[in-house]
Amino acid sequence: MKSRFAGLRENGWSAPPPDQPSDDLLAVRDIFKYFSFGPSVPWAKKRTIRAVDGVSFRIAQQETLGLVGESGCGKTTTARMILGLLAPDAGEIRFLGSEIGRRGPAKRRDRGRIQAVFQDPWSSLDPRMRVGDAIAEPLVVNTRLRGQQLRDRIAGLLDAVGLGPGAARNYPHEFSGGQRQRIAIARALSLNPDLIVLDEPVSALDVSIRAQIMNLLKDLQQEMRLSYLLIAHDLATVRYLTDSVGVMYLGKLAELAPTTDLFARPAHPYTLALIDAASAEVRDRPPIVLSGDIPSPADPPSGCRFHTRCWLYEQLGRPKICRTEQPPMTEVLPNHASACHFASDAMHPPTRAAVAGTSPSAATRAAAASVVGPGTAGAVMPVAPSRPLRI
């Protein structure tokens, strides 16, 4: 029987061999996760949701990587595989050089070193458990701390997140949303993790509380030499907290870059649209507005998955390559990769004046000409595949 993953690795991605030495804390290489659903009626076909479809990235010590994208793009499924809540169908997840994606001794050993803080602190804490007991639980299961040593450790953790040791005697309902998130962070810190997966850690909080929690996370990162994987919708949070950002669309990475580069020079049309949607900044070009909904991951579009909503595809006159060839992740600037056949056009969107004076495709052609140099005016050039990004 033909494998569900046959041909899926032919996406231009060049992952290093598994035994290559690396100083990364976490290396995610070409992971896939598909979910199959049986038909609701006997004559219907089985459906397969391609939740994560060949994603690779790395997180260094004390680095924060953000994963952004619309709901259903696969960022939470990726985080769940890193946390060990789901096993990848293919690919590998290495933590300090050991494979943890599949069950095994390394996975058990490293379990305590990767922790999570979820979006809703209310549902991540047991309402019938005192705060001290909730923080003690992982310590009792995984360490030999007992008695006064255990109580001291709990008091230290509560102190580290800005709550007094007296908070250990209270129940979660006696705290505000921000305080409950501090308790969830204290519990995540209890086993001295190296990596914390932050799944929308401030989006359920009042705006006035968000800054406090973000600053707390930054301070803890400095003091405890933590690395974070931040899953978020809110680009302002991502911009403030992260060192680098991966933009996901329909189970794939569209762009991966250092945060300052990504916001200063987005190299994928989808990233540009996300930034425009989140910003009220006045620019010398019209804002990019995406139309339509994200397609079903059970039936993703052919070629570039974004082509059904891509403004650049329309402006370039619907080039065939976008419908037929999946763009590989290609390094367009140092450490800045984009999965777009026309990344250099995306980095130079037409100005407001150009759009007013010419047709949209001509404006983009003018921008493309300014990138590719003299003698090519009027030609729409795909970005030269400089070299595949190595992860």
Q: Which residues bind ligand SF4 (CB under 6 A)?
A: 269, 304, 306-307, 310, 312-313, 322, 327, 340-342
Give the DSSP per-residue string, 274-324: HHHHH-----SSPPP---SPPPPTTSPPSSSTTTTT-HHHHHTT--HHHHH
Q: Which is nearer to ligand SF4, 24 or 255 (CB)?
A: 255
CB of 267 to ligand SF4, least distance (A): 10
Residues of the chain by 3-state class (helix, strand, coil), percent to 5: 35, 20, 45
Q: How far is the CB of 56 from ligand SF4 (least distance, A)?
A: 19
8 Å CB contact between 161 and 180: no
Contact, 386 vs 343, CB < 8 A? Answer: no
Nearer to ligand SF4, 172 or 269 (CB): 269
Q: Which is nearer to ligand SF4, 269 or 350 (CB)?
A: 269
Residue located via tokens 């080039």: 319
C-alpha to C-alpha distance for 234 and 181, rounded to whole angstroms: 18
Q: Which is nearer to ligand SF4, 136 or 310 (CB)?
A: 310
Q: Which is nearer to ligand SF4, 94 or 307 (CB)?
A: 307
The smaller minimum CB distance to ligand SF4, of residues 73 and 205, is found at 73
Nearest distance in Å: CB 173, ligand SF4: 47
Residues in CB range of 348: below 8 A, 6 or more apart: 367, 368, 370, 371
- Angstrom CA distances, 180 to 163, 219, 265, stand at 10, 18, 37
> Residue written as tokens 């619309």?
70
Q: How far is the CB of 339 from ligand SF4 (least distance, A)?
A: 7
Q: How far is the CB of 34 from ligand SF4 (least distance, A)?
A: 22
CB of 362 to ligand SF4, least distance (A): 16
